[in-house]
Amino acid sequence: MPKPTIVIVHGSYHTPYIYAPFITLLQNAGYVVHCPQLPTADLKYLVPDPSHPDFDYKPGTLQQPTQAEDAAVIQSLLKTLIDYQKKEVLLIAHSSGGWTAPESSVLSLQKAARSKDDKQGGIIGLFCIAAILAMPGSSTTSNFGRKPPGTRDDEEVAVWFKLHKSNCTTVPEGVRWLFHDVPEEEAQRYQRMLTGCPFLMSEMTNADVYERLPVAYAVTLRDRVLSVEYQEMVIKDVEERGTKVERYDVEGGHEAFLSQTQRCVDAVEDFVRKLLA
């Protein structure tokens, strides 16, 4: 059967270039892949001068983008692929893409709902990699602040981002927190690609997405940003809404699609086979 088109919904601070090795292997496996730049990680919306990014500017100088605008970008692409090109689409959500991808997966774009109306194409599933999966009514920021069951009240949370005067955040030590399991030269290069991120306060409005859409989750076992316990907590959130999550364990950090690229592609392939069986 024809393979679905893949849309990668990238995480905060990221540009599509960081996903290039992952995209290349997916393309080699026969997939058409899209990974649009999202506004909340786009320097041209985050700083007055993108050529010399300085986040320590006075709050209010710029109207910072919201994650709802990210969802609008993804949904516009999905409508083109599905309504006009009749494509079947697998969404891959990384990190804060765990809010944007399900928010964008409205019922009219889901394959199961479209099939009932004799329409072709549609979203066939959601594949997550270390994703901050949001529940309806919550934001990425509120979800990220949750503590997994069993966490002590006095347990310190690692602070891996820097808050600037603009109320944007950056990741000064990206090599330590994000790219610690890739070769040093590559890690430094990816560090330079990181941008910034405003506080992501948009509340998820897509109320029943997890009851309708198949979900897979790649748990990143060496993640320094999201603990395994946190990832298991959000998997449980989805399963409590009635959807059994297909779990894949990956021996990588938050950017496992770089350090364990083939493993991530194999997991995507396995999930696709199960969806199309």
pLDDT value of residue 157: 57
* pTM of this structure: 0.96
DSSP 3-state assignment of 92?
A: strand
* Contact (Cβ atoms closer than 8 angstroms) between residue 72 and residue 107: no
* Tokens coding 57: 């500017």
**Which one is the CATH code of 5-276: 3.30.470.20, 3.90.79.10, 3.10.350.10, 3.40.50.1820?**
3.40.50.1820
Phi-psi region of 253 (alpha: psi -120 to 50; beta: other; left: phi over 0): beta
What sections of 117-227 are H helices per DSSP? 140-144, 174-177, 184-193, 209-212
Tokens 């070769």, residue located: 183
* Number of helical (H) and strand (E) elements in the chain, helices listed first: 12, 9
Tokens 């955040």, residue located: 169
What is the C-alpha separation between 55 and 178, in angstroms, rounded? 20
How far is residue 206 CA from its own chain's centroid? 16
What sections of the chain are H helices per DSSP? 20-28, 43-46, 67-79, 97-104, 111-116, 140-144, 174-177, 184-193, 209-212, 228-239, 256-259, 261-276
* Tokens coding 145: 């602040």
What is the C-alpha separation between 255 and 141, in angstroms, rounded? 20
All residues at 6 or more sequence positions from 84 whose CB lies less than 8 Å from its CB, including other chains: none
All residues at 6 or more sequence positions from 151 whose CB lies less than 8 Å from its CB, including other chains: 229
What is the C-alpha separation between 203 and 135, in angstroms, rounded? 9
Phi-psi region of 242 (alpha: psi -120 to 50; beta: other; left: phi over 0): left
From first to last of its 277 residues, what are the pLDDT tens digits of the chain?
A: 789 999 999 999 999 999 999 999 999 999 999 999 999 999 999 999 999 999 999 999 999 999 999 999 999 999 999 999 999 999 999 999 999 999 999 999 999 999 999 999 999 999 999 999 999 999 999 998 888 876 666 555 568 999 999 999 999 999 999 999 999 999 999 999 999 999 999 999 999 999 999 999 999 999 999 999 999 999 999 999 989 999 999 999 999 999 999 999 999 999 999 999 8
- Other beta carbons within 10 angstroms of residue 264's beta carbon come to 26
* Contact (Cβ atoms closer than 8 angstroms) between residue 22 and residue 264: yes
pLDDT value of residue 149: 77
* Tokens coding 197: 């991120």
pLDDT value of residue 148: 85
pLDDT value of residue 159: 80
Tokens 């995507």, residue located: 268
* Tokens coding 211: 């009851």
Could you tell me the residue ranges of all domains in the chain?
5-276
pLDDT value of residue 153: 60
